[in-house]
Every structure is written in C-alpha cells, then in structure tokens.
Amino acid sequence: MSRTSLHTHGCRISDEWSYRGLRAAVLENELLRIVVLLDRGAEIVEFRYKPLDLDPLLRLPREIRNPHQGVPSIYANSSTYLDYYVGGWQEILPNGGPPVTYKGVEYGQHGEISLAAWSSEVIEEGPDQIALRCWVRGLRTPLRVERVMRLLRGSAVLHFEETVTNEAGEPLDFMWGHHVAFGLPFLASGAKIATSAKTLLVHDEMTGFEPRRLKLGQRGAWSHAEAADGTMLDMSVIPAQDQASGREMAYLTDFEGDAWYAVTTASNERAGFAMRWDADVFRYLWLWQELSHATGYPWWGHVYAVALEPWTGYPTNGLNDAIARGTQRTLQAGASLSTTLTASMYAGLDKVTGVHKDGSAY
C-alpha cells in the first residue's frame, strides 16, 4: 500500500508520486532529497545535497522517457539501455556490458532489471528514520533482487541493504553492479578521486572508443598510469570541463581494508560524494570517463561524465567474458547473496582519507 509521511520535519517519505506515468518515490531529510523511479529499474535520478542545492549525478540534456510507453524505432537488444539512458544511478544484473547469450537467454546491454518495473513498500516511516523496500525479478532469468533504502535524521547518508536470490533449480552465473555516473555542474571545476583501491587495470582495445587517455591493457598501482602518448597521468585527477579530453575504461581493485571511494570537487565548497561497500561482494570498481565530447550515438558531442561503479566482476565485455576470466559470481539453486553499501554527500573536506562504517567521509 502506498504511503506518504504526514509530518513535515525530519525524515519524510512518499511512494505516491508519478512522473510521465512512472511510479516514483521520494526520500528526504534535512540534508538529502532522493528521487527513485520505481517503474524504471528503481533508478535514482536525483541525489540532492540540500545545503548546497547540489546533485552530483550525471543528467544528460534529454527527456526521461517511460520505457513502457511508445514504440522504439528499432527492436534491437543492443541499444535499449542506451536509448533510455539519461545519467543517474542504475542497478544492473545479470550482464555488464554489450549483448550476450547465456544458457539460451539473450541479454541486451547491461542486463534486464535497469528498465523493469520494481515493486515497493514503505517499511519504516517516522521523523527519525525512513525505509523503502523495493524488489524485482528478472524478466528472463529467475534472479530476484531486493533493496532496502534507508535515511536517518540529520545524516547525509543513504544506506542500502541488498539481496540477490537464485530462484532457479540450477546454478546461475551473473554480473551485478551499481552504475553511478557524475556530471555537471558537480564536475565543472574538476575533482579528485580518493579510494582504498591499490590496483588499476586498463581495458584493452574497444572498437569506436577513442581517443583513449591511457595505454591499453596495462596493470599498475593506483593512481598513476602510462598515458597514450607515453607520459605519466594521475588518474585520481578529473580535469575541469574546459580542460577535458579523451575517453577511458578501467577497473580498480585490491582494496586495502574497507572498500570505498570519494569524489571531491575543486570548487570552493569542496563538496563531494562518497561510497562504501563490501569488497567481498563488489570486488571491482569500474572507472568510465567521457571527457572528449564524443560524437555520434549515443553521446552526440555533449557528454562530460565520469562514472565510478562497484561491480562483482569485470570487464565490460559482458557475462561470458567475465566467466572466461573467472570474475563472475555464481549462486547455487535457491541460494542468496546479501550485502550493504552506503552513499553520502559532504562539504568542506580538502582531502578524504576514508569512509566510516556509518557512511560518512573523513
């Protein structure tokens, strides 16, 4: 049953909103406002830090469309995700990357739950704490995902509790990730990435994905890597929009202690976004950069974006490649995998050296 908070202070929640025919939920407290499109993969399209009226998430200059209305110009499994992509934060399962066929199932780009309608219910509602439970089953695969999102009074931290369950009568392989992308105005002045990852793996050749910032296929210590021209490049530095050029796809791993990252802007406010997660589940952090205003489909010359995405495996070649490299996750029949993660905003930190268990950066 849908619910809306009757009080107007502290934590508030409502899952009675609608946007272009899409069910939406709004979670907020004194510091954060979170908008979740339940009928579009429980996608987070707003993560607003109220003290600065700042949303770090990427938002492309195109409409948010309802994937359950209208007719696509071509029925092709390769492009549905990108056809509807506007930035933001998507949860992805069971395929990371281009279309693949696995156990007789054809998966499109980034799997099958990121545009599906999720069910939901408000499970906690009060000025001190709110919680929304969302769940979905794969359209073609008997994998069930459940997510609980929680906000506490006076805290700029969104808490996640998640479980993936294999409802099949046989083992299933999968890739699971959180596709979190950042854009303007958050990155306009540039930013720095801090993380507990120690190793950087650079993706090899990707057709049409040029010009690359780094020499292809290299492995080294985070954060310096050999650039395409042979010089050394500090990948912890995100160049300002007016200095940006190139594209990159890489993976961070070998986390020291707790897995976390933080992106801190070079603006006067030193605002930032931080995540902390379980490295035993999400063993890789994908780093995707579009800094060259790439032309043609789907970016059309106007994308300045950086994504930092916790994933269970790599690379972004799809599930079959992950299986070949042994980086997929496998659930036996009836088994579940549970985990937690946090996402937060902050300001006034020149350098982040870690993320507390409660999700706050320091």
Q: How far is CA 95 from CA 44, 107, 347, in A?
A: 20, 7, 35
Report the alpha-carbon distance of residue 34 to residue 117 in Å, rounded. 18
Report the alpha-carbon distance of residue 109 to residue 297 in Å, rounded. 14
What tokens appear for 62 in the block?
A: 């195109």
pLDDT for position 301: 85
pLDDT for position 71: 63
pLDDT for position 171: 98
Closest CA to 45 of 27, 72, 31: 27
pLDDT for position 302: 83
pLDDT higher than threshold 90 for residue 83: no
What tokens appear for 324 in the block?
A: 């070949």
Report the alpha-carbon distance of residue 72 to residue 83 in Å, rounded. 9
Percentage of the chain lying above the pLDDT 70 cut: 97
pLDDT (average), residues 128-152: 97
pLDDT for position 74: 63
Report the alpha-carbon distance of residue 283 to residue 250 in Å, rounded. 14
pLDDT for position 102: 96
Q: What is the mean pLDDT of the chain?
A: 95
Phi, then psi, of 228 in degrees rounded to 5 = -60, -30
Tens digits of per-residue pLDDT, 35-80?
A: 999 999 999 999 999 999 999 999 998 899 988 887 666 666 566 8
pLDDT category at 148 given cuts 50, 70, 90 is very high
pLDDT (average), residues 83-91: 94
Specify burial of residue 170 (Cβ count, 10 A radius: 0-12, 13-18, 19+). exposed
Find all residues with CB under 8 Å of 327, minimum gap 6, and list them.
Answer: 283, 284, 312, 313, 314
Domains in the chain, start-ordered, CATH in brackets?
12-346 (2.70.98.10)
Number of Cβ atoms within 10 Å of the Cβ of 245: 10
pLDDT higher than threshold 80 for residue 329: yes
